Structure 1
Amino acid sequence: MNMDLCKLIVERPYKKVYRCEGSIVKLFDENHPKVDIFNEAMETARVEATGLEIPKLQKIENIDGKWAIFLEYKDGKTLEEMMHVDPANIDKYMSDFVDLQLQIQSRKAPMLPDLKEKLARQINSITELDASQRYELLTRLESMPHHSKLCHGDFNPSNIIVGKNGKMTVVDWAHATQGNASADAAMTYLLFALKDQEVADLYLKIFCKKSDTAIQYVQQWLPIVAASQLVKENELEKDFLMKWIDVMDYQ
């Protein structure tokens, strides 16, 4: 495939994402681990098997020494764009957003990685935390209930495509796991809080009301989930995440 004929839409340090006719193509750097690329494709296929409306996996191809994942293209705007241009209707958008998250969490995908095991591996690998901090986080993680609900892992409005008919499609399942829905909600809360604390609080209020979950229970996951995100080594987010990890000392 000639990538020069495709439109570059996203660029990351380890991949570029293109729109090519009826496909979205994730083209990875030649040094990116092959196992991670094939795992992402496999996990997308496993989520697809749950019956959720997601971009279908089309193929994996090697293009000039670089591996690429081809996914079905979904036309529309992101929910993030819609929230930005129409802030007056934020409550309605957020309600629909939470409904979609709960629909996802009602599904099972037993072949996906276990969320608690993934979080434990991430926390154990963090050099910014000392042994005592890692021990406290892992002890809290171990005490949390073990569930097997489908969790997106990066559920935020930029990963939701809204078609002209209003139908919403969730994209980017690279971080999908099976685990505790409140842990997934804690991740979404942090993603909102990174940009706008007021919107984050609105999300948490609506999620907890619709799911009949205590806000305090989701908050218990926040230090754990914040710590797990330190593995991304994003200096801009590091101070923000460390503040949420420090909250653990006062709960």
Structure 2
Amino acid sequence: MKLENVIVERPYKKVYRCEEGIAKVFEPSHPKADVFNEALNQARVEATGLDIPKVISVSEIDGKWALVVEYKEGKTLEDLMNEHPENMETYMDEFVNLQIQVQEKTSPLLNQLKDKLARQINGLKDVIDATTRYELLTRLDSMPTHHKVCHGDFNPSNVIVSDDGKFYIVDWAHVTQGNASADAAMTYLMFALKDKALADTYLDIFCKKSDTAKQYVQQWLPIIAASALTRKDAMGKDFLMQWIDIIDYQ
């Protein structure tokens, strides 16, 4: 496989353009099981009927595992938002419509989001004290269990907009089945990291379109912030801890 220019670079992976499509090449420290699991989960999302980049192969390149997926030509929605801020309202409206479209799907073989969140919070013994972990897990246990497809990393950089106006969602590494408001809480935090006002605008639109109480999404914020501390592309410990501290946020 001939790798061309680097499209995205992260501490644990590089994403290349290649003849077959897009190759996500992971560092040797990245677990092999995670690569195959990502491919499997993306294939399961394909089976829901969503028009997403299709999985082509999992292979080894120079001693590193690589996931090859279909290439979608276009710009990221994040780039378009930055280039045309005057169209932000329209872009945000389409962004939320797309997220709700995903959440209307089900995929029974995907991992349960609540189980994943519980494992992540239990693994934070060196970061969060036992009392806070207990409060987070108690809140998590009290939240309703749903079975909607949740992207887990839904932000404008993971939406490709083609020249003919079609939207494609990429990077399904964190997909699970669970509560749509938990997924919205993650999106809110990713917006809030850069622009709190834009995050609030997103939440207003999401709650209106999905007929969800804003307070319900807010109840998920400390749980999701804690879980994000375990991710390799974490948003920053100080930022996330601020949201975890709002344990009684109503």
Q: Is the 8 A contact 2:58 2:67 kept in 1?
A: yes
Q: Match for 2:13: what amino acid?
A: K
Q: Match for 1:145: what amino acid?
A: P
Gaps of 5+ in 2: none
Match of 1:140 in 2: 139
Structure 1: how far apart are the matches of 2:234 and 2:20? 36
Does residue 44 (structure 1) correspond to residue 26 (structure 2)? The answer is no
Alignment equivalent of 1:90, drawn from 77, 88, 91: 88
Gaps of 5+ in 1: none
Corresponding residue SS for 1:116: helix
Distance apart, 1:233 and its partner CA: 6.4
The change in CA–CA distance for 1:235 and 1:206 in structure 2 (over 3 A counts) is: closer
Match of 2:118 in 1: 120
Match of 1:224 in 2: 223
Match of 1:248 in 2: 247
Q: Match for 1:50: what amino acid?
A: T
Structure 2: how far apart are the matches of 1:2 and 1:98? 37
Distance apart, 1:2 and its partner CA: 3.3
Match of 1:199 in 2: 198
Match of 2:2 in 1: 2
The change in CA–CA distance for 1:241 and 1:47 in structure 2 (over 3 A counts) is: same
Please identify which structure carries the higher helix content.
Answer: 1
Q: Is the 8 A contact 2:184 2:217 kept in 1?
A: yes
Q: Match for 2:88: what amino acid?
A: I
Corresponding residue SS for 2:236: helix
Corresponding residue SS for 2:194: coil
Q: How does 1:1-251 map to 2 (within 5 A)?
A: 1-3=1-3, 6-126=4-124, 127-232=126-231, 237-249=236-248, 251=250
Corresponding residue SS for 2:51: coil
Corresponding residue SS for 2:247: helix
Q: Match for 1:204: what amino acid?
A: L
Distance apart, 1:62 and its partner CA: 1.2
Distance apart, 1:237 and its partner CA: 1.4
Structure 1 length-normalised TM: 0.96
Corresponding residue SS for 1:248: coil
Q: For residues 156-191 of structure 1, what are the alpha-carbon distances to aligned partners after superposition, in whole Å with 9 as ceiling and x for unaligned?
A: 000000001100000000000000000000000000
The change in CA–CA distance for 1:106 and 1:234 in structure 2 (over 3 A counts) is: closer
Structure 2 length-normalised TM: 0.97
Q: Is the 8 A contact 2:226 2:241 kept in 1?
A: yes
**Deviation >2 Å, runs of 4+:** 232-236
The change in CA–CA distance for 1:97 and 1:236 in structure 2 (over 3 A counts) is: closer
Q: Which deviates more, 32-41 or 60-69?
A: 60-69
Structure 1: how far apart are the matches of 2:171 and 2:127? 28
Structure 1: how far apart are the matches of 2:46 and 2:249? 41
Q: Which deviates more, 126-135 or 21-30?
A: 21-30
Q: How many residues align?
A: 249
Structure 2: how far apart are the matches of 1:97 and 1:30? 34
Structure 1: how far apart are the matches of 2:143 and 2:37? 27
